[in-house]
Every structure is written in structure tokens, then in C-alpha cells.
Structure 1
């Protein structure tokens, strides 16, 4: 079947905190009347990203067209979660004209692209493109790359040491599968840092891929949608560090949820989040918080010690105003200490 007869799907990938949800929300708000649907997958059990997107109130993408998958990463649960969710959207009385899939920040995109060749959906959908969102400030700070000289010294001292960097491998796998790279948060780095980041990305990419700079995920929708890549038919051009592995189970990372008390001010929580990130090397924090005397919930998002917050929407009527925060870090970080620091 020609790809022209298939519903195009855009896969939005990118490491934790890169700005994927902000980018997807921008797409929804600027869809120009096109009927969209969204599948959003999170690493953790609290649907923060889905809640953010459902708060858009956009007619062309109603809440029931936003499907949340929070039971595990869709790169390794395609049969149980992703394919049924996709079929459910396609079987709607008025199916979407374009589907946007936001992966977990720890997902490998290639297994998801492969799933589009499954017989149940192969004749109905195509991967219009894989968009990799990159946190320019995080790359500039060396979050994903090891120090080559330090590694050389360690190897000289002990050849048996294992120097695999799980952050770098996931980050690179997302770039290796991309049809378009969005250098997000470009406003947070200077010209020299930007050149260094672009050079690092270019050295990772296996083929010519367009790179677009962005601030707060603000990229023209016509640049993001309509790439026509048919990526499921182009798998050989998308190498992966995990090519020979069966399942990608994220065993290098931990996540947990904290129920938060009411805070007197946003700054009171932000100061605790910064201390937690700096003391315990937290990768990502994201959630909603109850601020005393405020009718709206506070959305807080942290990438390392960089914390953003804003009042995003009113708390639902008739429901308890419970603040909750998802915390993600590398395996073995001190969950009890972080919990005490943030909620104690």
C-alpha cells in the first residue's frame, strides 16, 4: 500500500528533560485544524506529560485523543501496549489525520520504528519521521559524554574496568535514528558552546540529517510534520548500540514518586529541588505542586539543578489537591535521602 494512503506518525524522542512535551504541546496548539492524536509514554507511573497535554484544551486534539502509556517503555512493550493503543486510535469513528508519539526519555526509538512493520498496523500507518529533541545546555555541560582523558587514565590503571556510559548510549541511539534534530534550549548556551554541541551531534549522526535550533520547543509545525521519511522501510540506515540486545529494560536507571506537602511558595520547593539535584545527581524531576492560597497547580520541571516552574491550570474541582513529583536518576541513588529532603 502506498504511504499516501497511510496515516503518518511522527515519533518524538529525546533524553529526559530535553523538551519533548513542550514541543508536542506546541504542535497541538499550532495544528491549523488538522486532526491530531497523541500517544505519550513515560518512565514512571504518574502521567505528568499526559496531564500537561490534556490541559491544552485544543479542539483538534480532544482529551480522549491523547493516550497515556505509563506501564513501561514502549520500546520494549510494543505488543502489549503500543500496537493496541495505535489500533484504538485508527479505529475511531473519525480517525486522526496525523499521530504524534512522544517516547519516554529513556526509550530507544529503533524498536518502535520496527513495530510499524507489524502485520496488524503495517498497511495503515507509516513513520513520517523521527524527531530527536536535544537539550543543548545539558550536552554543553557534558551530561552525556565521558572525559576521554579520564577514561584513558582509568583504563591504564585497570584494564578490567567497565566504562560503559548508559546516558551516552541512550542519547546516541536517539540521534542515530533521527530524521530531524531539534537543538532545544539554544538560548541557554553561548556561540562557542553551541558550535561544540552541534559538532558533537554531527559526529554522532550516521547520515545527513537536518538540525534546527529552538527555544522552548518553538519550531514551525510544517518543519516537524510532513517529512515523508517512511522510516520503517529505512532501518538499515539507523544503527543502534543495542542492536543485538533482546529487551532494553532500563536497569541502569531508577524512578520513584514522592507525595508532596503544601508549600508556602514556589521558591521554597525550588530550593529543595536544587539541593537534591546537586547532592544526589538527580537526572530529572517533574510534577505538580499545591502552593498555599493558590487556586492553580504549580508545574515544576527539573533537569539536573535547572528548575523551571509555572502555574499551568486550576486544580480539578472536587478532588484532593495532592502534589506529586517523579524523580529519576541512575541506579543506586539515595531515594530515602531525596524523599526526606523534598517532602520531610
Structure 2
């Protein structure tokens, strides 16, 4: 490993009991060929099996003399760290061992909203103590309980606020539907429909006790530039052949009695000129920062629902041939040119891009407002 290479960091979120610790235990104890540093909220007999055969233990005490973090170097090449804070201090100490691992997995608490954490890692590369020089955000993985997921998604949300489990799903780049050996196929389908109502662009993988090929969890490169075709493929719907209601040029999810306060909108983007690109930037600022559609003059949208975007992403081409990528978490976003079309054989000036917005209060008027900017 190049010691100057930035280490990719993946956030693992999920509601209480979904199976995050089971997934991480599997990573820490099985021989999979990856060198991964796993940062858990805490570990013990239930989190790291004795079969892991820890070969070294070190700890750091806080000012009160209590254990604040503990490192276990494991026989399978992984490194485990237990934390009792937000993880920044633990990552600082972990990066002193840079070169001993190739990936970092950071577990968030079951009641944590990963959005602010993701924004910190992704956008502010010089945050905290300069960790942006050593790591970058690879993506957010959300573990959903196949047994209680439907109940959690529908019960912890209100008309005034988005539930924690829905925020976790909305922010995810990959979703693991865990414990799929317990429910019926009909129950699994209902949960998947709810998940796709919240986040239509994230692939959903069914798992049992966190058993999954790690290529779906690490190295997903969700926030970095790829080829136009790869970026567009990542934005295509993963609807598992369910019957969704498609608009002519966009996509709005909502499913009768299966209700989530978070929905997603997808809009095709034709090749646009520089002027329209500037108007698109202004439109995004209005939606993300002010919670209003341009020209409405009120933070209320879709009746009594407040417009709140949790995640946005997309890719589109300019008439000049330049390819631009949109990435956003909450109020932080950036539109980054990745290359000119001439440098990529898969891209031409006729290529149609796509924008995805995930949040609360998204509706048909938002889609129409965006299309007015693009057309």
C-alpha cells in the first residue's frame, strides 16, 4: 500500500438491532483477503468472537481514567477499534497506523443520522485535525431489519419530522436488507417497496446474518468521479421489478398504504448550455439552503409538507462536451466537472444525464420546477 494514498472510509448505519454488529463481526473474524480497520461503538464477547485471536491489545484512557478506545489487531489482517465518542479521536489514532490497513469501516449508533457525519467526511476535507489529507468518504451503507424494518420506517416518522430509520435509508449508497431468512416473501417485498420509496437509486442486497460479498460494501466509490456510463448506471432505478408509478420525464415514489415521509425524485437531464447550468446551480441552492422552489417565496411545498432534501446526486453534460457530477448531503453540495466528452468514448453531446433528489416534501411541482430550468 502506498503510504501517501488516501484511505477510503465507509459509514455503516442502521436502526437498532438491524444487524450492523453482526456484519462487522463477520468482517473481523472471517478470512476474506481485505485489510480493514473496523471502528465500532463498542466491542466485547458478542461483537468480536474469541476465534478472532487478537494478537495485540492497546488502549487509550480519557482524563477520567475510563476506557475511551481499544484496538485489537486480528489474525485475519483486520484491525478493530472500540469507541465511546463520535470517532474523530479514534480515527486520528488509527491513522497513526496508516499502512496497516486498506479500508476503514465506521459504525454509527443505531439512533444516529449518518447525514451530518457523511457531510463532514465528504465535503470538508480539512475538517477537524486535517484528516482529509489521509481519508475520504467511499460511501454510506445502511443495514435494514427485514423483520421490523417496515414497522420502524412507518412508526418513527411524523408529519413534522422525518424518522431516523428513513433518514438512514435516504442517505445510503448501498442498502443491506438483513435477516431475510425470517419473513415471508410477501413481507420482504413490502419492505423493499418502502425502501425504494425512500431511496430509489440505492441497490438493495438481501442478506442473512450479514453475509455479503464485500465488493458491495467497500470500494464503491460513491462520491468520487467515475466514467459517465458508470455514474449513470449508479443512478438508475433499482426497483426489483415492483410496480412503480413512472412520470414521463421523472420519477416519484409513493405506495398507497405503505407510507414513508421520505420520497425520491429522478429527472432526466438533456444536454444543457452554460446559462442553464448556472440556473440549475441557483435552483439547487434555493432548494437545499432555503427549502423553497424558486419563485414560490415560501418554505412550504406540497401543501403542509416542508421541502427538505437529504441527499442529491446526478450527472449531466454541457454543450461544450464537459461532464458534470452533482453530489450533495443536506445543505452541502458541489457540481464538479470530471472531464470533457472528447476524452471519454462513451460520452457525446447527445447523452442524457440524470438528477436524483431524496427528501421530504418532494412532489410533482418540484419535478416541474426543475424541468422548467432544464428546458
TM range (shorter): 0.5 to 0.7
Q: Which residue of 2 aligns with 1:329?
A: none
The 3 A distance-change label for structure 1 pair 209 and 93 is closer
CA shift for structure 1 position 17: 0.3
Cα contact 1:36–1:60 (8 A) shared by 2: no
Q: Which 5+ residue runs of structure 1 have no aligned equivalent?
A: 42-46, 75-81, 149-161, 245-344
Q: For 1:81-111, what per-residue CA distance to the aligned partner results, in whole angstroms no more than 9, with x for missing partners?
A: x222112111126432111111100111111
Q: SS of 2:46's equivalent?
A: helix
Q: Of 50, 58, 62, which residue of structure 1 is paired with 2:52? A: 58
Matched, 1:99 2:96: no
Q: Of 69, 78, 99, which residue of structure 1 is paired with 2:83? A: 69
The 3 A distance-change label for structure 1 pair 84 and 146 is closer
The 3 A distance-change label for structure 1 pair 190 and 214 is same
TM-score normalised over the length of structure 2:
0.49
Q: Which residue of 1 aligns with 2:113?
A: 108
Q: Which residue of 2 aligns with 1:126?
A: 136
Q: SS of 1:32's equivalent?
A: coil
User: How far, CA to CA, are the matches of 2:312 and 2:183 in structure 1?
Assistant: 34
Matched, 1:216 2:188: no
Instruction: Give matches, 1:312-327, under 5 Å.
Output: none
The 3 A distance-change label for structure 1 pair 32 and 146 is closer
Q: For 1:202-227, what per-residue CA distance to the aligned partner results, in whole angstroms no more than 9, with x for missing partners?
A: 0001x511100011111112222221
Q: Of 165, 170, 176, which residue of structure 2 is paired with 1:176? A: 170
Q: Please say which structure displays the higher CA radius of gyration.
A: 2
Matched, 1:83 2:71: no
Q: CA RMSD in A?
A: 3.4
The 3 A distance-change label for structure 1 pair 174 and 31 is farther
Q: Of 187, 196, 200, which residue of structure 1 is paired with 2:181? A: 187
User: How far, CA to CA, are the matches of 1:103 and 1:61 in structure 2?
Assistant: 26
CA shift for structure 1 position 24: 0.9
Bigger helix share: 1
Instruction: Give matches, 1:255-266, under 5 Å.
Output: none
Q: Of 201, 219, 230, which residue of structure 2 is paired with 1:226? A: 219
Q: Which residue of 2 aligns with 1:18?
A: 18
Q: Which 5+ residue runs of structure 2 have no aligned equivalent?
A: 57-71, 74-78, 226-230, 232-310, 314-326, 333-375
User: How far, CA to CA, are the matches of 1:222 and 1:201 in structure 2?
Assistant: 21
Q: Which has the higher contact order (CA 8 A, sep 6+)?
A: 1
Matched, 1:38 2:38: yes
Matched, 1:197 2:206: no
CA shift for structure 1 position 163: 5.4
Q: SS of 2:34's equivalent?
A: coil
Cα contact 1:10–1:129 (8 A) shared by 2: yes
Q: For 1:163-196, what per-residue CA distance to the aligned partner results, in whole angstroms no more than 9, with x for missing partners?
A: 556xx61101101111110000111111111111
Q: SS of 1:37's equivalent?
A: strand
The 3 A distance-change label for structure 1 pair 94 and 187 is same
Matched, 1:6 2:6: yes
User: How far, CA to CA, are the matches of 2:14 and 2:194 in structure 1?
Assistant: 15
Q: SS of 1:172's equivalent?
A: helix
Cα contact 2:25–2:48 (8 A) shared by 1: no
Q: For 1:40-87, what per-residue CA distance to the aligned partner results, in whole angstroms no more than 9, with x for missing partners?
A: 12xxxxx4x45433435436996153222224xx3xxxxxxx222112
Q: Which residue of 2 aligns with 1:136?
A: 146
The 3 A distance-change label for structure 1 pair 59 and 125 is farther
Say which is worse superposed, 221-230 or 172-181, in terms of deviation. Answer: 221-230
